[in-house]
Amino acid sequence: NGYIGIMLISSSNNSLTSNNSYSNANVGIWLGASSSNTLTSNQSYSNTSVGLGLYSSSSNTLSLNQSYSNTIHGIYLYSSSSNTLTANTANNNGTSGWGYGIFLDGSSNNTLISNKLHNNTGRGIELYNASSNNTLTLNQSYSNTNVGIYLDSSSSNTLTSNISSTNTAAGIYLD
């Protein structure tokens, strides 16, 4: 496939359901400056960079998606806010040697509920670079090579009833 499997740019009110995006030269599914889209039951795997990525995107709903065996991250939000991620699975990401299941970078006011993150070569979930006011509830992060849930330079986040177990370095780590 091409550089990006499925791409929405400056798009809103679209639904992507039951699509497969794999073996792309960069990202499987990419939303840039897009809002109010719904992504449900998609699979994104074996992409050279990220399985599912949001860049400067807000108010999107991602549920029941599977993102696995991507070279870097499973699900990546950069400078994105007010998105809801529910019951997604991100596993075996970081095939190049370091990757996260879900990575929020400079992203705030997002809600992560009941996501499963396991066997990633870095962290299950990371909030980084002033990612604030995010809510993480009932997520399961286990058997990741480093930390289950890692908050780095991020504040005012709420973590409730998450399970983080059998990770190599720590379950939940605040830095």
**Which helix or strand (DSSP H or E) is residue 91 part of?**
strand 89-91
Q: What is the mean pLDDT of the chain?
A: 97
Residues linked to residue 29 through DSSP beta bridges, in sequence order = 6, 52
Distances (CA, A) of 138 to 80, 88, 111, 162: 21, 12, 11, 4
Q: What is the pLDDT of residues 37-53, one digit of tens each?
A: 999 999 999 999 999 99
pLDDT at 136 over 90: yes
Beta-carbon contacts of 41 under 8 Å, excluding residues fewer than 6 positions away, are 17, 18, 63, 64, 65
Question: Which two structure tokens, joined as six digits, stand for 54?
Answer: 């949001």
Determine the average pLDDT of the residues in 6-16. 98
Pairing of strands 111-113, 84-86: parallel
What average pLDDT score do residues 1-22 get?
A: 96
And the tokens for 3? 């550089």
**Rounded CA gap, 95 and 157, in Å?**
29
Residue 106, pLDDT above cutoff 90: yes
Distance (Å, whole) CA 63 – CA 125: 16
- pLDDT value of position 72: 97
CA 137 and chain centroid, separation:
15
- Total Cβ atoms within 10 A of residue 16: 19
Query: How far are the Cα atoms of 43, 65, 71, 77, 133 from residue 17, in angstroms, in the given order?
Result: 10, 9, 23, 20, 29
The arithmetic mean of pLDDT across residues 151-161, rounded, is: 98
Give me the pLDDT at residue 2, please: 81
pLDDT, tens digit, for every residue of 55-76? Answer: 999 999 999 999 999 999 999 9
